[in-house]
């Protein structure tokens, strides 16, 4: 097996070098487009490209289905554009001037194009929640952190907010740890608790999709395990897209996995297939630890 | 009395300007306005004093009946404006110290820009903003020239902003000019009021620095 891979790498390197001398990569197999999904979709990314303000194209013609109430993982080496793709889904790039989208991100079942000129980024973010790499609780009480998303939506009734806050904290599996100190500062929690609090904050307004951007990269192994359990539980009720550079994590928590490389989506498929029987040579190189 | 006026001017305008500079202004605008603002801190206070006496007071006398030529209202307003550059500059630093990840967290919940500014940036920078106002305030309280010129030299215990009154510092200057005899009550009183002034500004500074340290440890 190892020997096979070595020869594959060598021959491919030679081939590429002959064609494109300063591109010292070993493979030119074109990306494999995702096949047709039988399961219900929550969103479809179609022919999607993203350009940063300086003209750099970070995402190249990506097609990807996002399954309803399933976990979709995006993996790939650093700088491959996986976070950029995730942040496109709730228009975070609109916060910085000059960034440009092309293609479509269709939210099902309405068929609304999230990145179309007619859709308002603020409204998109009301529908697509996000949890960040580093826990970023607001400098407020635990209660107010979770309630923030509800207040933005103009909910004022105390009883409704109380109920939604408790519900979100329970879904984020942190209720028992914080129920006695809801009025304490969110900064008094540990890192792992803060991250689950941020997940609760994202869940409270009932988003249609929850985006997780390397949610465990700043956490210790125990806190990571808790967040992973949580992600699996949540996938029964909410659609989740998770970016991770931890392949074991993707294998553990996701139903579908997308592998990205240099802004292109090389392969997309069932998580088990991607990890046991990848079709694209780059995917295989990545999951066998050849680079990344 | 002028202290209330100072805050009445400095708090709303200071906050609005700081939010504009830290959240809304394009970098080019911020980089020109902020040094210009900091330069205003170098204007000698006697200039503010004569501006109050010769421009603002006659102007406001058109609108406010009974406003005397020497009064507390105008120096209060002018002092509020005078500490603005300092207050804006320090609170803007505090707001910019709020990490971008918090702002993004707010936007990700669907907040609009003004909501991020009022619900996340201001609470996040709260202790820094408070410190800015308290330090600015203690500067205004210790200020002599503006009030000496525009509020007069008459020690007068009044709450009417249209009247004139001497500040503690103006009183000390007046008493120590040499026309009070050594050892009299009037002579001794300048040390008492001096101590009082020292305690007031020290209290403001201690509170200000305490809050400033606290906000640095927030994230």
pLDDT, tens digit, 9 for 90 and up, residues B9-52: 888 899 999 999 999 988 899 989 888 888 888 888 888 888 88
Chain A contact for B216, CB < 8 A? no
Q: Which residue of B has its CA nearest to A87?
A: B108
List pLDDT tens digits, range A91-107.
Answer: 999 988 889 999 999 98
Quick one: DSSP state of residue B71? -
Mind telling me how many Å the CA of A231 is from chain B's nearest CA? 19
Give me the residue from A129, A132, A153 closest to B101, CB to CB: A132
Show residues of chain A in contact with B101, CB under 8 Å: 132, 134, 136
Measured between CA atoms, the residue of chain B closest to residue A211 is B108
pLDDT of residue A18: 37
- CA separation (Å) from B98 to B94, B103, B172? 7, 8, 43
| pLDDT score, position A11 | 38
d(CA B93, CA B98): 9
CA-to-CA distance for A232 and A240, rounded, in angstroms? 9
Which residue range is the domain that position A100 belongs to?
39-135+210-287
Domain count, chain A: 1
Mean pLDDT calculated for residue range B138-149: 75
Q: pLDDT class for B209, splitting at 50, 70, 90?
A: confident
Nearest CA to A162 among A172, A147, A149, A152? A147
Residues of B in contact with A136 (CB under 8 A): 99, 101-102, 104-105
Do residues A140 and A165 touch, judged by C-beta distance below 8 A? no
Nearest-Cα distance to chain A for B139, in Å, is 29
**pLDDT score at B156:** 67
Nearest C-alpha in A relative to B125: A139
Q: Band the pLDDT of A75: cuts 50, 70, 90.
A: very high
Segment A1-19 mean pLDDT: 38
Partners of residue A140 in chain B, C-beta under 8 Å? 123
Q: What is the distance in angstroms between the Cα of B4 and the nearest Cα belonging to chain A?
A: 29
Burial class (CB in 10 A: 0-12, 13-18, 19+), A222: exposed
Q: How far is CA A213 from the centre of its chain?
A: 5
* Number of other CB atoms surrounding residue B54 within 10 Å: 12
Backbone CA torsion sign across B110, B114, B115, B121: positive
CA distance A282 to chain B (A): 33
According to the model, what pLDDT value does residue A165 have?
A: 94
A154 touches chain B (CB under 8 A): no
Instruction: Enumerate the residues of chain A whose CB falls inside 8 A of the CB of residue B118.
Output: none
- Which residues lie below 8 Å from residue A150, measured CB to CB, with a gap of 6+? A160, A161, A164, A165, A204, A205
Please confirm whether the linkage preceding A109 is cis (ω < 30° from 0).
Answer: yes
Report CB contact under 8 Å: A90, B108. Answer: yes
Residue B218: pLDDT over 60: no
Position A160 in a domain: no
Tell me, yes or no, whether A101 lies in a domain. Answer: yes
Q: Compute the half-sphere exposure of residue A186: CA atoms within 13 Å on the CB side of its CA.
A: 27
CA angle B34-B40-B100, nearest 5°?
Answer: 20
* A9-13, A282-286, B76-80, B174-178: least confident range: A9-13
Task: Tell me the average pLDDT across A250-272.
Answer: 92
Which residues on chain A are in Cβ contact (under 8 Å) with B130? none
Instruction: Evaluate whether A259 touches A75 at the Cβ level (below 8 Å).
Output: yes
Residue A171 CA: distances (Å) to CA of A137, A224, A227: 17, 17, 12
Mutate to test the interface with B, among A94, A97, A152, A214 (most CBs of B within 10 A): A152
Per-residue pLDDT tens for B162-202? 666 677 777 777 777 767 777 788 788 888 888 988 888 88
When CB atoms are compared, the residue of B99, B108, B219 closest to A125 is B108
Is the predicted pLDDT of residue A251 greater than 50, yes or no? yes
A136 touches chain B (CB under 8 A): yes
User: At what angle are helices A191-203 and A221-234 packed, to 10 degrees?
Assistant: 20
Q: What DSSP character marks residue A36?
A: -
Nearest to B44 by CA among B144, B132, B168: B144
Q: Band of the pLDDT at A161, cuts 50, 70, 90?
A: very high
Contact criterion met (CB < 8 Å) for A152 and B104: no
* Residue A283 Cα, gap to closest chain B Cα (Å): 31
**CATH class of the region B2-216:** mainly alpha
**ipTM of model:** 0.83
How many distinct helices (H) and strands (E) make up chain A?
11, 10
């Amino acid at each position: 097996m190892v020997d096979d891979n070595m020869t594959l790498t060598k021959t491919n390197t030679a081939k590429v070098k002959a064609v494109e001398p300063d591109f010292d990569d070993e493979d030119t197999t074109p990306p494999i487009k995702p096949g047709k999904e039988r399961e219900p979709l929550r969103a479809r990314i179609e022919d999607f490209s993203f350009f940063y303000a300086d003209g750099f194209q970070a995402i190249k013609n990506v097609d990807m289905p996002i399954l309803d109430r399933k976990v979709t993982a995006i993996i790939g080496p650093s700088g491959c554009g996986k976070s950029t793709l995730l942040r496109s889904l709730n228009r975070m790039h609109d916060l910085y001037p000059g960034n440009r989208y092309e293609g479509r991100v269709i939210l099902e079942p309405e068929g609304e194009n999230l990145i179309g000129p007619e859709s308002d980024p603020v409204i998109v973010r009301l529908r697509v929640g996000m949890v960040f790499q580093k826990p970023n609780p607001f400098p407020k009480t635990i209660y107010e952190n979770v309630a923030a998303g509800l207040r933005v939506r103009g909910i004022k009734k105390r009883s409704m907010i109380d109920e939604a806050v408790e519900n979100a904290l329970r879904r984020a599996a942190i209720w028992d740890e914080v129920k006695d100190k809801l009025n304490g500062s969110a900064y008094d929690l540990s890192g792992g608790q803060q991250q689950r609090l941020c997940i609760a904050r994202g869940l409270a307004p009932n988003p249609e999709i929850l985006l997780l951007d390397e949610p465990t990269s700043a956490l210790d192994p125990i806190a990571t395990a808790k967040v992973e359990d949580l992600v699996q539980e949540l996938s029964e009720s909410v659609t989740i897209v998770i970016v991770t550079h931890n392949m074991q994590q993707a294998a553990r928590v996701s139903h579908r996995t997308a592998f990205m490389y240099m802004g292109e989506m090389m392969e997309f498929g069932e998580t088990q297939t991607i990890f046991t029987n990848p079709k694209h040579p780059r995917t295989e190189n990545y999951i066998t630890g050849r680079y990344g | 009395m002028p202290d209330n006026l100072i805050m009445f001017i400095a708090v709303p305008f200071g906050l609005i300007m700081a939010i504009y500079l830290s959240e809304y202004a394009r970098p080019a605008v911020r980089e020109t306005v902020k040094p210009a603002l900091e330069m205003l801190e170098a204007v000698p206070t006697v200039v503010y004093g004569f501006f109050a006496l010769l421009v603002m007071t006659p102007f406001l006398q058109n609108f406010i009946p009974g406003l005397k030529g020497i009064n507390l209202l105008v120096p209060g307003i002018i002092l509020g404006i005078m500490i603005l550059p300092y207050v804006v500059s320090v609170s803007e630093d505090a707001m910019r110290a709020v990490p971008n990840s918090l702002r993004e967290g707010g936007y990700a919940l669907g907040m609009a820009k003004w909501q991020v500014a009022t619900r996340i940036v201001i609470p996040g920078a709260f202790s820094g903003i408070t410190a800015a106002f308290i330090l600015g305030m203690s500067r205004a309280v210790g200020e002599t020239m503006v009030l000496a010129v525009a509020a007069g030299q008459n020690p007068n215990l009044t709450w009417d902003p249209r009247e004139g009154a001497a500040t503690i510092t103006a009183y000390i200057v007046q008493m120590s000019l040499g026309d009070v005899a050594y050892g009299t009550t009037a002579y001794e009183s300048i040390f008492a009021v001096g101590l009082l002034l020292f305690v007031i500004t020290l209290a403001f500074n201690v509170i200000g620095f305490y809050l400033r340290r606290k906000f640095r440890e927030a994230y």
